Structure 1
């Protein structure tokens, strides 16, 4: 089964593609004769195909670092890097860390003389991007209820508006020779955020040998990588991008047959993450990285159902306060098709919520629990796998079961079998541009995982 499109086919972009390939020659990007870019025979608007059989380990293309678009290679790099007499580089700092690149893209995407104009013209006006942030709130709330995406999008839009208003707009107002608020609007800025979400790359952090350094380094900023961003994603990919000091190389990780599409990977991404960040999904059940979240709030509700007296309520609130301090805000327990991926966190939560009053008093006195053989990482991982879950303590299984049931209620009235029928019979929903179809792929995959968890923890 073909994977869902990363980008919607909007028109024949062959002319833009030819211009781009000529630009690649000028900037020193080397493309293997065994592959070609195409708008036909791919799962999306653009893609890469094998023209000949390709062996594992072959270099498909090489990109010199000078051909990468980021804040150091843009025409406005000096201003972004050094600032001017009235401001410092720190004035562009934000929680996302994307502002310098986005300012560069605001300039380069609207400058007729931009060195990157041919490359950026592959996405005219960035109008084809169809992330859920561009859906109406009503669409998101109806189609994606329970998936976690509406909440993530609401946070994104709030952060984007705040970032534009507080950081970007004041900066561009101070530099009218380069930016114009009537051109470089919040709408364009939001489209470029989606463009960076869907197409940018981040260079992996180098290994830090200093284990005593407690301060974590900030992740490397994103950058645009021409040619690499033309490849589409599947979880069972056949190529991988390698970062070298002077260049980046796309290398085959398994043999490809003539005519086969070359697929990169964006990482181990569940369907809800793919839709949220990239605007597409993999058809069920092809995404081996699919997951479903059980919010901590659902575990709280499950545990609170057994409270019968005020002293029990007080004791429970104390335990949950400790648990809340141990976990991040709006945290969730993540389950895959094979078990719990956040097994250590779930183990600690269940251990804390199910301990006796005497055990909790000892826990508080010791400011935590002492190490135990049962807390071994390998044992915990096995215990919370699908194979190990049936053997958990009955009190732990009951909490997981009830939390999963409560999570399923958050999706609304549609039952799993109703969604299954839509999956099987919904030919009218299918299509690369169908928001309902992509939403169904996310919703159904998550429900299947949660229903399997209900079955495993039923006794």
Structure 2
């Protein structure tokens, strides 16, 4: 750590060493702590833009030729930045970023690096849809490596002086994991923009919440999670490695510092008072444990206000696929394709999310009603360009219950099984993390199922009362005796 700080200050970085220190935590890696009481809006450190490592600051794209760089699509996704990092690492101590690169982790607890046996523990979770590991991004990463990165390395031995055996798929995955867990989205510094705000927050892998700016009005936030999936990139955003800023840990609801940028530097600023000895937290955006594990290789466990004595992550969610909603009603994909296509055109999603409040999502109710419409009513809905209203009734509740029950069967174990397994002190870190994810998701499903069953019972009782209530007779209706009428 001393070497990184020396390198950081040597290249123009500034740090309030009386306020912030970096320590190694036994169960959370390296993080930052307050060495004294820190007031709100205090600048903890500043990073010159020239110390950021990105496609913009690395000399590699210019050496390749910017036209060639773009022709090979190295500006799309993370392939270009990964190659820049590999190239800098291959230069060893001659690299400008050598001390920083040397400080980055080489092993990760993310599922991308898990064994098949450990991945089995994720069956049914949002991370692994019955072992379709596309969310881990591994297949896409390997395709980029073989189709974009390796051919470029092999074509320019005048630039890539290290043996091509240095540029391995394993090193590629390591650099990609560093970006996934530590990168920030940084807006370009437009020199000719005279009206640019003095400071703006940087969205990042560790700072994605754009809803709560600091109390001072000089900061205007923007942000995203740093992952690029589309073919066209936003030219105003640069995915960047930001030394020092990426050393702060994060925990659900604990953020007390954020990264903001100025024209020529980025500043880590406290967003609330921090007491001496407290950890200085950035934020991942209060993500569910499934996403925390997928991206960063850790989970959040905090006391739950609504479940005394239990630990969990209030940001947890459960995904319900549209095909599960279809199969729960004994409908076929072929028969419902037109309706699903129209649902998506109307802005619906093919994945419905249950959150920690365990409330039945209106989107799920609307989708169920859409799938159950008679053909003429579906045609009318299309004509009116309106999806059905999310009205819960007995029929819909029964489908919701079936959906939740079937979703629970996608896990290889029950909630009770998992709670018992958590008592095993000999669990590996991977299996423990998988259990935490499973338990969090199953608690939501079980809670939502209980609410749906209670709602169905109440609806059935109300329906029974309605059916037994004496019906008011209209004038002239047969009652077993003549009804007299008044002559005018």
TM-score bin (small chain): 0.7 to 0.9
User: Which gives a bigger RCO, structure 1 or 2 (Cα 8 Å, sep 6+)?
Assistant: 1
**Gap regions ≥5 residues in structure 1:** 1-16, 208-214, 308-312, 375-379, 381-390
Runs of at least 5 residues in structure 2 that lack an aligned partner in the other structure: 187-201, 204-220, 223-229, 303-310, 457-488
Which residue does 1:386 correspond to in 2?
none
User: Residue 404 of structure 2 corresponds to which residue in structure 1?
Assistant: 404
Q: Following superposition of structure 1 onto structure 2, how do residues 25-424 of structure 1 map, counting pairs within 5 Å? A: 25-41=9-25, 43-79=27-63, 82-83=66-67, 87-93=68-74, 97-112=77-92, 113-123=94-104, 126-140=105-119, 142-150=120-128, 151-152=132-133, 156-179=137-160, 180-203=163-186, 218-219=233-234, 220-236=237-253, 237-283=255-301, 285-304=311-330, 316=336, 318-320=338-340, 322-323=342-343, 331-339=350-358, 343=361, 345-364=363-382, 366=383, 369-370=385-386, 392-412=392-412, 414-423=413-422
Tell me: CA distance 1:39–1:370, structure 2 relative to 1, closer, same or farther (3 Å). Answer: closer
- Equivalence for 2:2: 18
Aligned residues: 398
**1:210 corresponds to:** none
SS at match of 1:456: helix
SS at 1:398 equivalent:
helix
What is the Cα deviation at residue 351 of structure 1? 3.4
Q: Closer, same or farther in 2 for the Cα pair 1:253/1:81, shift >3 Å?
A: farther
Shift of 1:77: 3.7
Distance 2:65 2:133 in 1: 31
Deviation of residue 91 (structure 1)? 1.1
- 8 Å Cα contact 1:98-1:221 kept in structure 2: no
Whether 1:445 aligns to 2:406 is no
Deviation of 1:450 (Å): 0.8
2:85/2:175 contact within 8 Å kept: yes
Aligned-residue RMSD, C-alpha = 2.9
Residues 261/19 of structure 1: CA separation in 2 closer, same or farther (3 Å cut)? same
Q: Give a deviation string over 1:54-79, Cα, whole Å, max 9, x none.
A: 12222211111111111111132413
Q: Normalising by structure 1, report the TM-score.
A: 0.79
Name the SS of the counterpart of 1:38 in structure 2: strand
2 CA distance for matches of 1:251 and 1:42? 26
Structure-2 separation of matches of 1:164 and 1:314: 37
* 1:291-327 deviation digits (Å, cap 9, x = unpaired): 111111211111226x9xxxxx986565345446667
- The answer to whether the 8 Å contact 1:37/1:46 transfers is no
In structure 2, what is the Cα distance between the partners aligned to 1:322 and 1:226? Answer: 47
Q: State the TM-score, normalizing by the size of structure 2.
A: 0.74
Q: CA deviation at 1:360?
A: 1.1
Matched position secondary structure for 2:166: coil
Q: Could you tell me how far apart the structure 2 residues matched to 1:136 and 1:314 are? A: 37
Structure number with bigger Rg: 2
